[in-house]
Structure 1
Amino acid sequence: MEWASCQTMLNPNGNVTTGRTLKLARFTSMLVWLMALLFVNSGLALGQESGTGSAYIAGSGNAALDDHVARLLTEQLGDQVTLEPLTESQLAVLENEPVIAIGPAAFSRVRQANRDLPVLALLVDKDFIEGYTTRFSGQVSAVYYDAPLLRQALTGKVILPQATRVALLATTESVELYEPLIDQLAPYGLEAKVFIADTEDQLIPSLIRALSFGDFLLAGQDDAIYNPRNIKHILLTAYRRNKILIGPSQAYVKAGALASSYAPFIEMAELAAGHLIAYFDSGTFPAPTYPDEYRVEVNQQVARSLNIPMPEREWIAQAVQNMISENNQEAGQ
């Protein structure tokens, strides 16, 4: 046995310790230190990966609406992402921090001030945002606010089961809004026709022809036709011919449309939260999307005045969803 291996000394406790034991103790101490260091570094890395990210909210200017959306988003995100209000002074200096724009005006304001910011648009129609999301895929995304026109058309079909023809009123510039819908209707026993009204003088004559053709009038998100200036004339003309207006939104149901499908805010907030988390995970937003769940708003007073029996709103929404699901299953076979 070598002398170094047999060398003895007193340890701090006064006990006799061999040199080999001392080396083993030093090795063990070093190993423990390295493991501790590795643990700390791993903890830091894990903390960075699972730590909260920050996103900014560009408000619509409607304080109640902005607060409601922010609260729903916060509930969905939990501690994964923190939300902060966006100030005008921050717009030019932010770089990779995602911005949630509530409404088209907020989205336009953000894009004009800083075209490099990743933006998630909420409460915007597909027609408004689609060009941006196509050109800046991953950098600009959205949760669409408008209900798909097919779902709106089927809402009318469920309320009027005997309906086979859908009337559409548009301008020459907005007619393309309805083109995808026309190709989607055949499996549901429906057909549609667009009637053009480019001027105020053409509005009522075109509307009368549309009402003569269709079992109901379907409205899309077309501000050139469906706006506060025109809606009273459209509704009165339709009622005089015992016809109903479906869509384009909850606001128009309150004004006198019979019904409209709409996505609940909680559903849009859930999708938006998923888009934000995906951004922090991958550095890009998922593709823009429509919500999966929709509800139906109805105007019972209009239904009574036109002697239309109205099922429960929940039943209408579920019936529409069943029709879409069954058709998708058949198409996939």
Structure 2
Amino acid sequence: MTPHGRFRWGSLLHMTRDTFRRAVATLLGLVFVVSAYAQETPGRLVYFAGSGNIALDQHFQTILADQLKSDITLTPISSDQIPMVENTPVVSIGPAAFSRVRQANRSIPILAMLVNKSFIDGFAARSPGQISGVLYDVPLLRQALTGKAILPHANNVAILATTASVELYEPLIDELPAHGMSARVFVVDNEDDLIPSLVRALRYGDFLLAAPDDAIYNPRTIKHILLTAYRRNKIVIGPSQAYVKAGSLASSYAPFVEMAALGANFIEQYFVAGAFPAPAYPLIYRVDVNNQVARSMNIPVPDPALLNRAIQQELAENGGPQGE
């Protein structure tokens, strides 16, 4: 090979090595960027474990995503993916979804939505910061004041409870005197005792306060409870919008968008502090009224917005529990 040929070959070899070094440097930089992005992305990712009700899950996912900051991504997760999740919060919809996520992976942070206080409080107390919830049930004081707003002269609140749930009403009994009311709990020992206990409760109370106690208020019993109260010209308040449709006169409730707003706030706090706040009720409520029941019982009911303002004013003037 001529010297001239050797020179050309050497130059080509030098250029190839130089190009190779640049390629390696570029590749290492790319690996670093991808690695950094992979480490950063889960910090702004939230998984969504639905209830199984497709319409409900799609609706709640949409309104929650709308409430989240633009750099937080909400994405569905399947049951078989849950065990592999690490350090990424999961939003669960309903108690069944929470239980499914919790049993599949006990180390991940969970924000439970559409769960009652009595369901989630124990989990949150055992795993503070890791487990929290936006509470679906309405504070009992607010429900009692809903009845008071409809019947201004009502002073006595009747409550049905089982031996297992009777203690849940003690805080309410302590709170009511500040609002000029009192309550008495009538214990239902078994299913056969439901109607006799209800009759005694209706004799005492100006209205029956129905709480989210599935042992008493369920599809099997609600018709009998509502008919018994109706025949004695006593109204039932609560425990939810679903029961208003079934025949309760009224119930306070938190709109889904308000639950989603609080849920988004909890998620943002998690990314800032690395922990969820304690479970809490939404800040804004509305009142739903069954006008057909009101007319049949000849009870004039103000506009729901007026009822809600009366409740808010009473809580502001005479106090209420945290979250009211």
Same fold (TM over 0.5): yes
Q: Distance in 1 between matches of 2:303 and 2:88?
A: 44
User: 1:246-325 counterparts in 2 under 5 A?
Assistant: 246-325=237-316
Counterpart contact for 2:229–2:236, Cα < 8 Å: yes
2-side partners of 1:237 and 1:328: how far apart? Answer: 34
**Match of residue 112 from structure 1:** 103
Residue number in structure 2 paired with 1:62: 53
Whether the 8 Å CA contact 1:167–1:194 is kept in 2: the answer is yes
Q: Is the 8 A contact 2:79 2:101 kept in 1?
A: no
CA distance in 2, matches of 1:285, 1:235: 39
Residue type of the alignment partner of 1:152? Q
Q: Say whether 1:142 aligns with 2:159.
A: no
- SS of the aligned residue for 1:194 comes to strand
- SS in structure 2 at match of 1:195: strand
The one-letter code of the counterpart of 1:120 is L
Asked if the contact 1:50/1:80 (under 8 Å) is kept, the reply is no
- The answer for the alignment partner of 1:202 in structure 2 is 193
Asked whether the 8 Å contact 2:43–2:88 carries over to 1, the reply is no
Give the TM-score of the pair, scaled to structure 1: 0.83
* CA-based RMSD: 2.0
Single out whichever of 79-88 and 246-255 deviates more from structure 2: 79-88
What does residue 101 of structure 1 align with? 92
1: CA distance between counterparts of 2:122 and 2:106? 14
| Mean Cα deviation higher: 208-217 or 276-285 | 276-285
- Alpha-carbon distance in 1 for matches of 2:183, 2:65: 42
1:221 aligns with 2:238: no
Q: Cα deviations across residues 107-156 of structure 1 (Å, max 9, x unaligned)?
A: 00001111101000000000110001111110001000111000000000
Match of 2:29 in 1: none
Q: Of 215, 232, 253, which aligns to 1:241?
A: 232
Amino acid at match of 1:143: V
CA shift for structure 1 position 328: 2.7
Q: Distance in 2 between matches of 1:326 and 1:118?
A: 38
> Structure 2 length as normaliser, TM-score?
0.85
- Letter of the aligned partner of 2:245 in structure 1? K
Where do 5+ consecutive residues of structure 1 fail to align?
1-44
Whole-Å separation in 1 of the counterparts to 2:173 and 2:67: 37
The structure, 1 or 2, with the larger RCO (C-alpha pairs under 8 Å, 6+ apart) is 2
* Cα distance in 2, alignment partners of residues 198 and 115 from structure 1: 36
Asked if 2 retains the 8 angstrom alpha-carbon contact of 1:99 and 1:119, the reply is yes
Which one has a bigger Cα radius of gyration? 1
Deviations 1:221-241 (A, max 9, x none): 100000011001101110110
AA at the equivalent of 2:184: K
